[in-house]
Structure 1
Amino acid sequence: MKRKERDGKEEEEKEMLCRSQGPIAVDLKNARVTRLPAAEFDSLPFDLKMDIVSRLDAKSVMKFGHVSKFWCSIIRSRGFIDSFFSSMSSKQQSGFIVALGNGLCNEPEEKLTFFFSFVEEESSCSSSSFVPNLEMAIPVGLSSIRDSFASLHGFLTVAVHGGLMVCNPTTEQVIKLHTSTRFVGYDPIQGQHKALLVESRYHRSDHLDHKVLTLGPSCQEWRVIEGTPGPYRPISVGVCVNGVIYYGAHNSADFRNPVLVSFDVRTEKLSFIQAHKPLLQWGKYSIFIDYNGKLASIVRYPYDRFNSFDLWILQDPEKHEWSMQHCVFPSSLWDSVWGLELSFPGTNKAGEIIMAPTLLSPKIGPFYIFYYNVKTHTVRRVRLLGIGDNKEFRRSYGFLKQRDCFVRIAPQHVHSIASL
């Protein structure tokens, strides 16, 4: 009887522990870790070994690959990479990356960009703050506040001085692409990342050459794409949605007719989609995002504070059909924003549109991002802890004297152990 009562009390304590909202403090000095002896691990069946390794986090798996050449080959295989990703918990798969970089510094040693990850759990819809984790840093500065920054199945594409770079924070690999590379996309069917190069032919901006490069360990040469839809001029940053890269352009003889260029990453085919004039009226300031698996454009006045925007959604690419919804948010939102610009990097898994300041305030204080619910027209504010809210942070990462520190966000980032 006493044993049942004791067991019942233990179960009750476990249930209370699971329901607790805050993190549990752990004394690492007195913590005791039980390790499985190497001999016992080697004696386990191979399938069981794979199951154990697949339960590790991405960083630990990469360290495990240094055990032997055999395990390195296993972890680098496509089958294991796909299996590992599918077995990851929702907590590991959900999050976003914030890039902080000095864009206008003159000294080469001051040109640094840092990548911080933030976890968005399913229960974080009511959270008021997120805690950062430093993933990696690269010795280059961000090129501007409007250029490309995106997460594509674990790979980050970031525009820096001199062109596009691709990074994998998990493996800490970095590659720099050709200076004429404009876009990077991901094909979820074949599991491939590809870069699209667009450059003028014979010094004419309307006649373009298109080349494609497949990223990865077996990276080959650039391939020329034939059969482009006609002369056009790219004018906006691109976005990859379900294996298709979209970017704004002008076509026809006088380049006044706005269109969207779509590039299928898998088939490597380009085509035009008719676009309404408001979508590209601001040229390079035009915004395109992945909205619940569909291409969307956010139209707003880009040169001052605004209290509303139009959300255009591409409902049918083949029929060139769009829908539009007017979105309004309270003007008090700007009380938490320094500067005049907000970025729209995309959405979270719940479908809320993310809005964030494009610059770090020169004054030390909290940094907030905002989530806009299209259905309810409500905005919630979330503080990113550690992003410039104390002097020690700015001193440690070199942002203490820099007035212009660019901030970019790549939503729905996932951990990937794939190699560049």
Structure 2
Amino acid sequence: MMNSIPIDLFLDIISRLPAKSVAKCFFVSKQWASMLCRPDFTELFLTRSSACQRLLFAIREVENNEWHFFSSPQPQNPYETSSLVVAADSHIKFPEGMCPEFCDYASGLIYSTGQYECKVEDNVNVICNPSTGQYASLPELGTYRSSKYYLGFDPIDKIFKVLYIGVRIMTLGNGAMRWRKIQCSLTHHNLFSEGICINGVLYYISGQIGVTSYVIVCFDVRSEKFDFIDAEGYYSKLINFKGKFCMVDLSYIRDGGHSRHLELCLSVLEDVEKREWSKHVYTLRDDKFDTDRNGFLRVRVAGVTATGDIVLSSMVYVKTSKRPFYVFYFNPEEKTLDSVEIQGFGDMSNINGDSEVTAFVDHVDDPKVSIMLQHRLKLTCNNYEPTRTQA
């Protein structure tokens, strides 16, 4: 059949499929696998996918120990969009007693770590593809159990790596996966800061041993070299702001006893070499901001779109509540704020109680990621089975 179809036409047809379907095509034959691994196909697929980047929502249902993943097309002009309907992508159910938490997101993958309630010493690390429901546990790190791990992506060699704060690293899908020692000139300790990978550089905030100040750790995923930048303080949210590292501080402003205002502070690293920063402070007001029973806002920053809009999302989804779930788009140049209602979470009848929601922007599936996970990591779907392999 392949002899009767031009290769360019074949690749064009396959590039229009979802990443999950492309990953399945990889196993049709060696000929198909060879063509789908061509750089020109990857470029074609990502170019087409980038035009329809998606909002990804990860719902952590604590009571049933499940994750549910939803996504929707990311609006090209959110200020002309009043609502979006999400579609269910996949879900994962973990064993009873396991407590996984979202840690890092990089190039379409989610990294999570957690522990069993009855066995604190059993630390489990999970890599998950939210678009396909594929996941796998990683080898344990021996004595380093209660630790912080970060997921980084090398866009040149298309390789994912997991970094244990400053001392160990693991390359995913590269033969036998084992933790390796790496050299770091500065001894720093764990602050459980989140990480952000921007153009192959992994950033996170840490503390220095014997010093009360903070430091921004810059780890080049490809070369595995460290750099350090002094930080003025600790920021809970790190984002990619138009290709630049940015720290975000979100605080609540009370007005007449009601917390309906947010103060958004951005610290943007404009020049890495010169250590030059720019700072911006904005006040956001919207009656649609979600609040708890005490009047405190339940909103957090999800990220920044490629066009520069800062996206905020409600933090909790309550199926029994009649209150809509919103995401908010803030344009710092125009100083405009608009809300978009997200519909479709309620279609999952097995989501009950209060569920934690984490949103991700500009989500794009990379077929090579799906293929690598399915072929090399031998991921499975829906029911998690932990790996007990020692590092």
Shorter-normalised TM-score: what interval? 0.7 to 0.9
- Tell me: CA distance 1:121–1:233, structure 2 relative to 1, closer, same or farther (3 Å): closer
Residue correspondence of structure 1 range 179-190 to structure 2 within 5 A: 180=147, 182-190=149-157
**In 1, distance between residues paired with 2:171 and 2:38?**
15
1:65 aligns with 2:26: yes
Q: Answer whether contact 2:69 2:131 (CA < 8 A) is retained.
A: no
Flag the structure with larger Rg. 1
Tell me the SS of whatever aligns to 1:165.
strand
Cα displacement string for residues 252-293 of structure 1 (whole angstroms, at most 9, x for unaligned residues): 52x31111111111111122101113xx1x6xxx21111111
> Counterpart of 1:119?
73
Selected match of 1:297 from 213, 227, 247: 247
Deviation at 1:235, TM superposition (A): 4.0
Identical pairs, percent: 30
Specify whether residues 134 and 149 from structure 1 end up closer, same or farther in structure 2 by C-alpha distance, changes over 3 A only.
farther
Q: Structure 1 residues 90 and 225, CA, compared in 2 at 3 Å: closer, same or farther?
A: closer
For the 8 Å contact 2:188–2:208, the answer to whether it is kept is: yes
State the distance in 2 between where 1:81 and 1:221 align.
31
Matched, 1:264 2:231: no
1:64-95: CA deviations, max 9, x gaps? 334334323543x3636633434424444x11
1:325 maps to 2:280: yes
**How far apart, in 2, do the equivalents of 1:240 and 1:52 lie?**
32
Following superposition of structure 1 onto structure 2, how do residues 373-412 of structure 1 map, counting pairs within 5 Å?
A: 373-388=331-346, 393=347, 396-399=349-352, 402=353, 404-412=354-362
Q: 1:365 maps to which residue?
A: 323
Task: Give how far 1:127 is off.
Answer: 1.1
Runs of 5+ consecutive residues of structure 2 not aligned to the other structure? 116-122, 374-391
1:269-348 paired onto structure 2 within 5 Å:
269-277=225-233, 280=234, 286-301=236-251, 305=259, 306-330=261-285, 332-334=287-289, 336-338=290-292, 340-348=297-305
Stretches of 4+ aligned residues off by more than 6 angstroms: none
Structure 2 distance, partners of 1:56, 1:64, is 10
Q: Shift of the alpha carbon at 1:226?
A: 1.2
Tell me, what secondary structure is at the counterpart of 2:317? coil
Where does residue 39 of structure 2 map in the other structure? 79
Query: Which has more helix, going by share of residues?
Result: 1
Q: Determine helix, strand or coil for the equivalent of 1:332.
A: coil
TM-superposed CA distance for 1:307, in Å, is 2.3
- Partner Cα distance (2:333, 2:298) in 1: 24
Match of 1:99 among 37, 45, 58: 58
Q: Any conservation in 2 of the 1:168–1:416 contact (CA below 8 Å)?
A: no
Q: 1:328 to 1:163 in 2, by over 3 A?
A: farther
Instruction: Say yes or no: does 1:131 pair with 2:85.
Output: yes
Shift of 1:347: 1.1
Q: 1:211 to 1:114 in 2, by over 3 A?
A: same
TM-score if structure 2 supplies the norm length?
0.79
Structure with greater strand percent: 2
Structure 1 position 302, deviation (Å): 6.9
Distance 1:163 1:407, change over 3 A: farther
Q: Call closer, same or farther: CA 1:99–1:233 in 2, change over 3 Å.
A: closer
Please tell me whether residue 176 in structure 1 is matched to residue 137 in structure 2. Answer: yes
CA displacement at 1:160 relative to structure 2: 5.0
Alignment of 1:208-219 (within 5 A): 210-216=167-173, 218=175
SS of the residue aligned with 1:212?
strand
Write the mapping of 1:186-225 to structure 2, written as runs, cut at 5 A: 186-198=153-165, 210-216=167-173, 218=175, 220-225=177-182
Asked if the contact 2:104–2:110 (Cα under 8 Å) also holds between the matched residues in 1, the reply is yes
- SS where residue 32 of structure 2 aligns? helix
Tell me how far apart the structure 2 counterparts of residues 87 and 231 of structure 1 sit (CA, whole Å): 39
Specify the code of the residue in structure 2 equivalent to 1:197.
Y
Q: Quick check: 1:354 aligned with 2:291?
A: no
Q: Tell me the distance in 2 between the aligned counterparts of 1:292 and 1:65.
A: 34
Aligned amino acid, residue 214 of structure 1 = T
1:156 aligns with 2:85: no
Q: What SS is found at the alignment partner of 1:185?
A: strand
